[in-house]
Amino acid sequence: MKTVDKLLISITTEHKDYVKASLPKKEFDILINLSISINNHFFITENQGRLLIKILRENQKKILDLAVEINEVISTPTWSKPFRQVEQVRKFYVGTDENKDSRLCIDMTFSQEIRKVLAELEKSLDHLTMTINGKKWTADYTEKNIVKLVEALTPLNFEIDEILKNHYFTIKSWSENEVKNQFVITNIEHKNFIKHIVDDLGTETPIDQNIINDRSIRYQYFTENPTNFGENLPEIIANRNKSRVWVDKNQHDVSEVINSLCQLKRLPMLIVFDSIVNNKYFENLQILSDALEKNGIFEKIGVYFRLPNDDTGKKFNQFIATKEYNYQLVGDTNVAVVMSGKLPKFFLKTDWKPMSVIAFDTRMGLRHGKTAVYSNCCDCIVEWSDEPPLIEQRIIKAWR
């Protein structure tokens, strides 16, 4: 009796035109692809064999000239070769990215079940990303990621690197309260910690609760429960739970933002104009200038880009000249203004560093390009716009 694979070769060679006219295009294309696999020395897998029989059974009445032969073959299917065995890969280990930085790596043979598990984990893990073919995923090399991934992948029979197993058991042995208590500000007595705080704020600065809360990200300590959390803009910024905080421009103007940052002793500051929203450069520069002057900041301001000499560009460039916003970027510069994605090289050759960043109208958020990478050195980034950056909106929707 003819085998199923020999029948398929016959269908796709001797009767190709007839079958092509009889079957839907999708099913015919699948048959052609399976015949190509059968003709090479790798053969087909068991799942592909099941698919082939299913297509032949469902379509045999459409190809009447071959219906009897198809029925005889698929009633007791046999094959000329053993099915190709698919190697089942399921590994979780520590690898590196293109910059040689350590990453958590997941290698696997395609599995809808595993992909569903990883897709669910994307909401709670730090930067879990998938490669194009779906066979490799990577994530940040963090304690949280290690714990969540080990617990999710162990029931799926993954081979887990011994290093990660050891990390997992070490992390799970920790007492959260015991670890946190070591970093509560009132418990830290290390001289270097005190020195950094003094170097930052000086000995003359009155330190209120907002400043204490504000510096917790910069110096990696915990504070007691904040009082009057979120009653005003300085408190909202000071009590942020990560370096970035979105401020609604419909509720707070730039003058309020700058005033809040001044209260938190956050000068010098970097101002970033979005290069995508490029029709508002002059308007935003005027808004910024007015806000700086309202807060008593008139000098040591540098705008480090210029516009082409069209009507708007001339106004923009002339405004800079009139206001003398051409201060050199040196240690005592109060305000530096740049365009997103186009950071001047001299920023990397000076010791000047911002204590705060304000991003104007950044719809995509300040997350890509050279300016975004440079801004990551700062622990206080205010995104001032009509709506939260798109990436934040996606996170919010994912959790709803």
Rounded distance, CA 279 to CA 284, Å? 10
pLDDT higher than 90, residue 151: yes
Identify the weakest region by mean pLDDT among 67-71, 102-106, 278-282, 362-366. 362-366
pLDDT higher than 50, residue 397: no
Give the predicted TM-score (pTM) of the model: 0.61
Distances, alpha carbon 304 to alpha carbons 267, 340, 345, 347, 356, in Å: 18, 11, 11, 10, 17
Percent of the chain whose pLDDT exceeds 90: 44
| pLDDT tens-digit readout, 161-176 | 999 999 999 999 988 8
| pLDDT tens-digit readout, 202-257 | 766 667 888 888 988 898 888 876 555 667 999 999 999 889 999 999 999 999 99
Q: Which residue reads 């510069």 in tokens?
A: 333
pLDDT higher than 60, residue 2: yes
Q: Does domain 90-174 have CATH number 3.30.780?
A: yes
What is the pLDDT, as a whole number, of residue 144? 93
CATH fold group of domain 242-399: Rossmann fold (3.40.50)
- The HSE-up count of residue 107 (CA atoms within 13 Å, CB side) is 10
Rounded distance, CA 257 to CA 357, Å? 11
What is the pLDDT, as a whole number, of residue 65? 80
Look up residue 69 and give its two tokens.
Answer: 């032969």
Residue 383 CB-density burial (10 A; 0-12 exposed, 13-18 middle, 19+ buried): buried
Among positive and negative, which fits the CA dihedral 188, 193, 195, 201? negative
Q: What is the mean pLDDT of residues 325-334?
A: 96
Residues in a beta bridge with 246? 383
144: CB partners within 8 A, 6+ apart: 125, 126
199: CB partners within 8 A, 6+ apart: none
Binned at pLDDT 50, 70 and 90, residue 132 comes out as low
Binned at pLDDT 50, 70 and 90, residue 92 comes out as very high
Q: Characterize the bridge pairing of strands 244-248 and 269-273.
A: unpaired
What is the pLDDT, as a whole number, of residue 289? 97
Residues in a beta bridge with 45? none
Look up residue 375 and give its two tokens.
Answer: 């801004």
